[in-house]
Amino acid sequence: MISIERSLVTPRWQRIALPIASLFIASIIAGIVLAVSGHDPIGTYQQIYDASFTSAGALTATFVYATPLLFTGLAVALAFRMRVWNIGGEGQLYMGAVGASGVGLLLGGWPQPLLILMMMLGGGLAGLLWAMIPGLLRAYLRTNEILVSLMLNYVAGLFMYYLIYDSTSFWRDTTSASALVFPQGKDLLPAADWPGIAVGSFTMPFGFIAGGVFAVALLALIRFTRFGFEMRVMGDSSAAANYAGIRTRRTIVTVMALSGAMAGLGGASQIGDFGHVLDPRGLQQAGYGYTGIVVAALAMYNPLAVVIVSILIGALTNAGFALQGPTFPIGLVGTMEGIILFSVLGGEFLGRYRIRFGRAPEPAPSVDDEAGAEVAR
């Protein structure tokens, strides 16, 4: 008889080899899909690689797509590790964009370094506060944070729309010529543009560097601080955390706050690094918050891995838009991303379990057995 049982130990090599193997399998499956629908697999992959990394301006464009994913991916990696299911990154990013653009418009005249700092603070704070709603509700009322954070995504989206398309708010551009034709947000002053670091012909956005710093900081937080220790215990066994005297409710709220701040910073980066204007439609179509969840999952919720995965997914997205045309369907992007995800998720299954032949021995009954607890067979 064949039974599948949980493997106790995942050797370290397996933890890295498995995703790589999955990626390899994913590229084969995607290649088959391509071939079947009349495209040349190898050629397409070459095109993608070229458009993501090597052709002129490709790397810069890749980082444009990677930066928001880095932030939202970090937000989710932090929360999901602790089994706090924050799927409100989308809304937290929107609020972060609102906060940062508001600050940027308000403090337009300030010296640039200070202005950038304030924009980051504004965006991070807005995201943090938005995330505190589901965080507090979960910690103190035990409300399901999946449902609440999801609902708040819609509310945040509608709020953004209201600011730009349906009101004469501070954020809305009411004067310029194009704004009279179609509603749009106020442009931020050039001083509010976040600088990019130029390396040869490639420019890395300030936001990505900041995000990378945050990734390292988060990793350090989780691994080296006492608070990170509490997080890890809580994420592993909430009963043990309670037993150890860890203040679980405070920890949940803090993690949600940090997570929201990360997503909010992603929104701030959208304003400071790229658009320089609050663009609700663009943000909603991009879906960075939801994609961030997938990025974090692929990265196995490790902050440093999130950096790498965000570049990968950013590269794929960039290539898709850059190559889009009659010979290169944009639909390939999502299809390939999906295949990668399914392969990695499915591959994790193989890593977690092992197949045993023969009948597994019955374990000894515990005292619960004597106390009459049910034992399902």
Partner 1 sequence: MNVDVVVSVAVSAIAYGTPLVLAGLGELLAERSGVLNLGVEGMMLIGAVTAFFASQVLPGPGWAVLIAAIVAAAAAGAALALIHAFLSITVRVNQIVSGLALTIFAGTIGLSSYAGQVWGVGGQHGLHQLVKLDVLGLSGVPIVGPILFNQDAFVYASWGLVALVTYYLYHTRFGLYLRAVGESPRSADAMGINVSRYRYVHTIVGGAFAGLGGAYFTLAIAPIWTDGLTAGAGWIAIALVIFAFWRPGLLVVGAYLFGALSSLGFTLQANGVQLPSELFSSLPYVMTVVVLAVASTTMAQRRIGTPAALGVPYVREEG
Partner 2 sequence: MDSRAARVSAASAESATAGSPPAVAAVGVTKRFAGGVVANDRVSFEARSGEVHALLGENGAGKTTLCNILTGLYRPDEGEVRVNGNPVRLHSPHEAQAAGIFMVHQHLSLVDSLTVAENVVLGWSRHGGLGFSARTVEAEIEEIASRYQMAVDPRARIWQLSLGQRQRVDILKALYRGASILILDEPTTVLTPSEIEQLFSSVREMVAGGRTVIFISHKLPEVFAIADRTTILRRGRSMSTLEIAATDARQLARLMVGHEMSFDVHPRATSVESEPAPAVPPVLAMDGVHVRGDFGIDALKDLSLAISAGEILGIAGVSGNGQRELAEVVAGLRPFSRGTIRIGGENVVSGDPRDAINRGVANIPEDRMGTGVSPNLSVAENLILKSYRSSSPHAGPVLLMRQAEAQATALMARFDIRAPSPRTLVRQLSGGNVQKVVLARELSSGPRLVIAASPTRGLDVGATEYVRSVLVDAAKQGAAIMLISEDLDEIVELSDRIAVLYEGRVVGVVDAATANYEQLGLMMAGATS
Which residues of this protein are in contact with partner 2, per CB under 8 A? 8-9, 223-229, 232-233, 236-237, 239-245, 247, 361-367, 369-375, 377
Structure tokens at 261: 């701040």
Give the chain's radius of gyration (CA, Å).
23
Shortest Cβ 131–partner 1 spacing (Å) = 13
Shortest Cβ 155–partner 2 spacing (Å) = 28
Interface residues toward partner 1, by CB under 8 A: 37-38, 80, 85, 87, 133, 137, 141-144, 146-148, 150-152, 154-155, 158-159, 161-162, 166-167, 284-285, 290-291, 293-294, 297, 317, 320, 329-335, 337-339, 341-342, 345-346, 348-349, 362-363, 374-376
The H-or-E segment that residue 48 falls in is helix 41-49
CA distance 286 to 308: 20
**145, 125 Cβ separation under 8 angstroms:** no
Class of residue 145 by CB neighbours under 10 A (exposed 0-12, middle 13-18, buried 19+): buried
Choose among partner 1, partner 2, none what residue 148 binds, the Cβ cut-off being 5 to 8 Å by kind: partner 1
Q: Which residue matches tokens 């850059």?
A: 322
Choose among partner 2, partner 1, none what residue 333 binds, the Cβ cut-off being 5 to 8 Å by kind: partner 1
Choose among partner 2, partner 1, none what residue 337 binds, the Cβ cut-off being 5 to 8 Å by kind: partner 1
**311, 113 Cβ separation under 8 angstroms:** no
Q: Is 302 helix (H, G, I), strand (E, B) or coil?
A: coil
Shortest Cβ 291–partner 1 spacing (Å) = 7
Class of residue 39 by CB neighbours under 10 A (exposed 0-12, middle 13-18, buried 19+): middle
Shortest Cβ 373–partner 2 spacing (Å) = 5
CB neighbours (10 Å) of residue 374?
6
Q: Which residue matches tokens 């034992």?
A: 375
Choose among partner 2, partner 1, none what residue 55 binds, the Cβ cut-off being 5 to 8 Å by kind: none
Select 57 or 338, whichever has its Cβ closest to partner 1: 338
Select 181 or 377, whichever has its Cβ closest to partner 2: 377
Shortest Cβ 187–partner 1 spacing (Å) = 23
Select 9 or 177, whichever has its Cβ closest to partner 2: 9
Choose among partner 1, partner 2, none what residue 202 binds, the Cβ cut-off being 5 to 8 Å by kind: none
Shortest Cβ 23–partner 1 spacing (Å) = 15
Choose among partner 2, partner 1, none what residue 126 binds, the Cβ cut-off being 5 to 8 Å by kind: none
Select 110 or 162, whichever has its Cβ closest to partner 1: 162
Select 2 or 9, whichever has its Cβ closest to partner 2: 9
CA distance 58 to 69: 17
* Listed residue (50, 52, 32, 51) closest to 41, CA to CA: 32
Structure tokens at 132: 């505190």
Single-letter code of the amino acid located at 267 = G
Label residue 203 left, alpha or beta by phi (over 0 means left) and psi (-120 to 50 means alpha).
Answer: beta
Choose among partner 1, partner 2, none what residue 56 binds, the Cβ cut-off being 5 to 8 Å by kind: none
